Structure 1
Amino acid sequence: MKTPELHEIKKILGKPYFENKDFLLYNGDCTELMSKLPPNLINTTITSPPYNIGKEYEKIMTVDDYINWCSSWIEQIYNLTKKDGALLLNLGYLEVKDKGRNVPIPYLLWDKTPFYLIQEIIWNYGAGVSCRKILSPRNEKILWYVKDENNYTFNLDPIRDPNVKYPNQKKNGKLRCNPLGKNPSDVWQIAKVTSGSKRSSKERTKHPAQFPNELIDKFVQGFSNPNDIILDPFIGSGTTAEMSLKYGRKCVGFEIREDYCEITVDRIQNSDIYQTTL
């Protein structure tokens, strides 16, 4: 039996490309699909849009047009988000003509939204492009937005870092560190999903810009609650869906390319958490 909220979404958007009890996947433009939905449906959005750098899945825009486009769909997400909801937005770099070569997109976008910015999270990784005339980039940024700065979900315990230097250190007979671990801080060292015959990540799909499971694992557990509805309007390879289902959340995904939808379907059907399509 599908949850009332997912049933409502399906009733409005029609037959999805793929569905199971807790997941709806639609093949289409997310801006068109979101425009049809009523407000206050979504608890948390976790996504990474195209970076406007010429990847196979995007059309290059001027920087101003790109920022305006991002602002437009972020506002749509804001309207769909419940009062205590959040947006976790992963962004990279682009070139701004005559201004900068590797300009972090958050610097251009962070305040172009009605959301309230709680914090920037730095995702640091080892592998990446090797450069000769500049430092090799080894991070991307996640903007943690909320709708209400005084009322939002943050579950620290599930995402604590167990790597504590002195786990048994005490003060006045009491442990100084939480036995579950320490606060992971706002810099996360998580490996990228790599490719190649001898270095390909176990979770690798055919998608060219895949979220690592560990990153989305932390987003899902730390910034949503069981039975929440998680939206990914650029669902790509389906990592958000897999991690949402793994931890007992519902998920709605939009993807404009049918071949990427197929990657997500194959991934969900072959995962341990797959449930029979209803």
Structure 2
Amino acid sequence: MTDYAIGDIQGCYERLLDVLDKVDFSPSRDRLWVAGDIINRGPSSLESLRYVKNLGSSAVVVLGNHDLHLLAVALGGHSVKRKDTLDDILGAPDHQELLQWLLQQNICIHDTRRNLVMSHAGLPHIWTVEKGAALARELETVLRSPNVEDYFREMYGNYPECWRDDLQGMDRWRMITNYFTRMRFIAEDGTLELAAKETADNAPAGFAPWFRFQRPDDVRVVFGHWAALEGETGSERYIGLDTGCVWGGQLTVMNLDTDEKIHCDC
């Protein structure tokens, strides 16, 4: 069995099939670790979502900001944005089944055997691996609760800007959501800067890419979300897999045991 991690698919279904064909991926013997953003902006969001769902136990999935956006539209009353490609999912006969499947997926995964963490946007330096995993479980419990619609109604927002252990309710859950699914630039004290989407070398004053801060451990972090990086973090510990397929770049998969990366041009 081979475990492959893949960056943001974002509805690029044909390219997904192409890159999996390059590694001879077979659900009967392999697993696909999906670093979030299965859907949105690309031409085939419904097909991409169905494909990953139908992998069953051969898929290991963390949710990205676009996946949560779909749920916020469907369950929280938010509007579809101009560039969204979600209508096919929302109008599909199996859309309720697809939404319920998304709600059962992970926010963060800690693979102790490989000493590896995977989340959509990364892991902030202010949290230990254990704390990050515990906070992810807390948010996953919210997503699977009977009151999940309340969460999605209030999910959006850039405040609070910084983690505090005494945060409660939506402020706490929004903060966890933003670290795991929206983070790019961060300050030493953990304050997030969520407006900037530039390359790592163009950080706003007082901020730096989250992976530039020293951690108290040697965990490796697999993430997506930041297409402007083009997969380059300058460190073997921090593995960026969003190589901008939906923007005409590449779709990337990586063998989690050999670190070999395989690309498909988009």
| TM-score category, normalised to shorter length | 0.3 to 0.5
TM-score, scaled to structure 1: 0.34
- The structure with the larger Rg is 1
Q: Higher strand share goes to which structure? A: 1
TM-score, scaled to structure 2: 0.35
